[in-house]
Structure 1
Amino acid sequence: MGKTQILWGIAPIGWRNDDIPEIGAGNTLQHLLSDIVVAGFQGTEVGGFFPEPAILNKELELRNLKIAGKWFSSYILRDGIEETAKEFSDHCQYLKELHADVAVVSEQTYSVQSLDKNVFKEKPYFTDQEWQLLSEGLNHLGKIAGEHELKLVYHHHLGTGVQTEEEVDRLMAGTDPALVHLLYDTGHAYISDGNYMNILENHIDRIQHVHFKDARLNIMKKCKQEGKSFQQAFLQGMFTVPGDGCIDFRKVYQKLLKHGYSGWIVVEAEQDPDVANPLEYALLARKYIDRHLLNVAATN
C-alpha cells in the first residue's frame, strides 16, 4: 500500500447480518462478492458466515478482491485478558491467512447492542478499575495483532462502554499508540454525540481504519423518541450508505486526505436487505463517492 493510498471497500452487513442470521440468509458468499465487484469496490470485511481461508481466498482471487479485516468481540472485563488473548490469537491467524490489514476489536462486556434495550439511554459505563483492565488488555491484544502482521483498530460503537467522544478520548489516552489504533465510524459518532468531526480531528493520528456509515436524521429522531434498541433502529432504517443520509462526507474525506491517511475506507450500513436492495445501495454509495469525493479531490 502506497504512502497515501486509500482502498475502498463495502461491508457484508448490507447483504447479511451476523446478529440476526435470518436477515439476508439467501445471499450467498458468491452473490455478495460478485455484487461488490459490480459496484466497483476493492474489497470487504469478513462476515460471520464466511468460510475458511482456503475457500475464501479462492473466491477473492477469482474477483480480484481483498479482505480489510474482521470484527472481534472482546470480553476482557468479563473473561479476563488471558482467555480473550487465546481467542484473539486464533482470530488473527485467520486474518493473516487472508492477507488482511486490521483486526477490528470492540469490548462487548455489558453491551446492549444485541439486547432489547433502549440503545440511546441504556448504554453501559465502566468503572475506573475496568478502564485500567481494558487498556491493559487491549495493549496485550495489540501485541498479538502485530505478531500476525496486523493492526488492532478499536471500534467505538453504540450500546457499548466505548461509545461517546469522552470515552474514545479516555481509551486513546490509556492505551499505547503503537499497539492500539482507532477505527473511526462516522455513523456511530454522529448518532452518539450529534457530531462526527470531533473524534476525527482529535484522534486523526490514531486512525488506521475508517467506516463510512450515513444516518437518516428523521428516523434517528423517531427511534430515539420511541426508545428503540440498536437492532430495532437499524431495521427501521436509521443507517444508510453515504449520499443517502445527513452526513457530509466531503468534510471527512478532505480531512483524511490532508492528513495523508492511508488505508481502508469501508462503506457500512446495517439495513434489512429485503427492504434496501444491497446492490442498489452499493451502487448508490459508489456513485456518491465518485461524484462528490473522488472528483472533488482530483480537482483540488
Structure 2
Amino acid sequence: MDHWRSQSPHGPIDQWESRATMDRFLKQVAAVGYDAIDTFDFRWYQIMGEYGSVANYQEYVQEHGLDRIVNTFHAADYDPRNYAPHIPATHANILEDFRVTMDRWSGIQLDNIIVMPATLYYDMEPVTEDKLKITADLWNQVGAITKDAGVRLTCHHEFFCGIQSRWELDTFYAHTDPEYVHLFVDTAQHCIASVDPIEFYEAYADRVSGFHFKDTRNHDLIGDYRRRPDSEIMADTTERWFYEMGDEGGLVDFEGFIRAVARRGFDGYLSVEHDKANKLGGDHAESTAIAAWYAKNVLERVAAEEVAK
C-alpha cells in the first residue's frame, strides 16, 4: 500500500511529488521484492495530471518491474450531512460516487476497491443493529455496482471506524450479501480494537479478498477510537500506532496468521501497509525493506511448512 514519505530540501514529500520521486519509489519497492502496488482512489487526480490515464500510469509502474496496480482504497470524506452509510438520506450520493469511481478506474483491471464501511465512530455512535442493517444495505448496493465493473467491494475496518468491535463486525456481516460484500483484514487495526485477527480471519475466510499486513504495540483500552478529529494522530496515549512485521514489541502473531491463511488456501496478493511509519524517527523505505525481509525469510518458510503438513 503506497503510504510513503521521504525528506526533500523543502520538507517531507510523498512519491507523487514528481516523476523523479515516483521513479525512485517504484524502484525501491521493486528492488526489495514486492510484486505490485495498491494505491488510493484520490490519486486519480494526480494520475490524470501527470500520466494522462490510469492505464498510462500502470504502464509506468510495469516499466519499473512491478506487475500492476492490484487494489485501490476509496478514502471517502465521511460527513453525516452528505456521506454517511448509516444515514439513508446520503445513500443516493454515495451510490453515484461509486458509479463515477468505477468509470474512472475502468482503464485497468483492479481486484478490489477497499472501503472503510462506516463513518468515524464518534459520528455513528451509539452503534445499533438498525444502523448496521442500514449500512449493510448500502454496501450490498455498492457491491452490485463494483461487481458489474468486475471489481470486488471489500471492507477494511480501522479501529476508529463505526464498525470495529467483534459484535459490530459480526452483526454487519450477517446483514451483508457475500456475493457483493467482501472483507479486507488489517492485522494491526483489528488487534488495536481487541479483535483477534486470526480468529476473525478464520471466521470469515470465505469472504476475505485481501489483507493489510502491519503490526502494532498497543491495544486501545481507553476509547482512543473516539478521539476527534483523527484517532491515529490525536490519541494522547500512543504517538505511533503502526510498525512493520517482525517488530520486537509487536502484538500480532504473524506466524500463526500466515499458517491460517495457508491452511485456507488463499490465492491472491498479500498487501504490506506502513501507515505513518515516519513517526518517532521511523522511515517508510526502511519499514518497507524490513517487512520484505520478514515476508521472505519468515512468512514464506512458515507458509511452506503449513502447506507441507
Work out the CA distance in 2 between the residues paired with 1:64 and 1:31.
Answer: 12
Q: Which amino acid aligns with 1:280?
A: E
TM norm structure 1: 0.81
Aligned to 1:285: 291
Q: Distance in 1 between matches of 2:23 and 2:223?
A: 34
The alpha-carbon deviation at position 58 of structure 1 amounts to 2.7
Amino acid at match of 1:71: F
Structure 1 residue 220, shift from structure 2 partner? 6.7
* Sequence identity (%): 21
Which residues of structure 1 form unaligned runs of 5+?
1-10, 17-21, 113-121
Secondary structure at the counterpart of residue 206 of structure 2: coil
Match of 1:8 in 2: none
The Cα shift of 1:89 comes to: 1.7
Residue matched to 2:269: 264
Where in structure 2 are the equivalents of 1:48-67 lying within 5 Å? 48-49=42-43, 50-52=46-48, 53-65=54-66, 66-67=68-69
AA aligned opposite 1:231: I
Query: Structure 1 counterpart of 2:47, which letter?
Result: P
Does 1:29 find its partner at 2:22? yes
Aligned match of 2:154? 153
- Work out whether 1:39 is the aligned partner of 2:32: yes
The answer (yes or no) to whether the contact 1:187–1:213 under 8 Å persists in 2 is: yes
Partner of residue 79, structure 2: none
Does the 8 A contact of 2:214 with 2:272 survive in 1?
yes
Alignment of 1:96-245 (within 5 A): 96-111=106-121, 124-193=125-194, 195-217=196-218, 229-232=231-234, 236-244=239-247, 245=250
Q: CA-to-partner distance for each residue in 1:122-156, whole Å, 9 max, x for gaps?
A: 98343333222211110000001111100010111
Change in Cα spacing, 1:297 to 1:40, as seen in structure 2 (3 Å) is same
Task: Name 1:115's counterpart in structure 2.
Answer: none
Of residues 65, 68, 71 in structure 2, which corresponds to 1:69? Answer: 71
Inter-CA distance 105–23: structure 2 relative to 1 (3 Å threshold)? farther
1:44-70 superposed Cα distances (whole Å, 9 cap, x missing partner): 111344513144123212123221211
Equivalent position of 1:84 in the other structure: 94
Distance 1:31 1:241 in 2: 21
- The structural deviation recorded for 1:222 is 10
Equivalent residue in structure 2 for 1:296, among 287, 292, 302: 302
Report the residue type matching 1:239 in the other structure.
Answer: F
Q: Give the CA deviation at 1:23.
A: 5.5
For the Cα contact (< 8 Å) 1:69–1:101, is it kept in 2? yes
The separation in 2 between residues aligned to 1:222 and 1:14, in whole angstroms, is 29
Q: CA deviation at 1:12?
A: 1.1
SS of equivalent to 2:136:
helix
CA deviation map 1:148-177 (0-9, x unaligned) = 100010111111111112111111100001
RMSD after superposition:
2.8
Distance 2:241 2:177 in 1: 34
Worse-superposed segment, 174-183 or 88-97:
88-97
- Give the C-alpha shift of residue 87 in structure 1: 0.7
Q: Deviations over 1:245-265 (max 9, x none)?
A: 232211111111111112221
**Counterparts of 2:58 and 2:5, CA distance in 1:** 19
Q: Secondary structure at the match of 1:100?
A: coil
Tell me the amino acid that sits aligned with residue 69 of structure 2: I
Measure, in 1, the Cα distance between the counterparts of 2:234 and 2:26: 27
Cα–Cα, structure 1 residues 195 and 297, in superposed 2: closer, same or farther, change >3 Å? closer
Q: Which moved more, 1:136-145 or 1:274-283?
A: 274-283
Structure with larger RCO (C-alpha < 8 A, sep 6+)? 1
Are the structure 2 counterparts of residues 64 and 204 from structure 1 closer, same or farther at C-alpha, using a change threshold of 3 Å?
same
Higher-strand-fraction structure? 1
Distance 2:212 2:167 in 1: 20
* Aligned counterparts of 1:236 and 1:123: Cα–Cα separation in 2: 25
Give SS of 1:282's match: helix
Aligned residue type for 1:144? I
Q: Please give the secondary structure, in 1, of the residue aligned with 2:263.
A: helix
TM-score by length of 2: 0.79
How many residue pairs are counted as aligned between the two chains?
Answer: 273
C-alpha contact (below 8 Å) 1:123/1:159 kept by paired residues: no
Judged with a 3 Å threshold, the aligned counterparts in structure 2 of structure 1 residues 105 and 12 are, in CA distance, closer, same or farther, namely same
Kindly provide the CA deviation profile for residues 176-227 of structure 1, in whole angstroms up to 9, marking residues without a partner as x.
011101011110111101522221121111111111110124x978996xx7
Shift of 1:235: 8.2
Paired with 2:108 and 2:210, the residues of 1 have a C-alpha distance of 17
Structure 1: distance between partners of 2:238 and 2:102: 31
Aligned to 2:251: 246
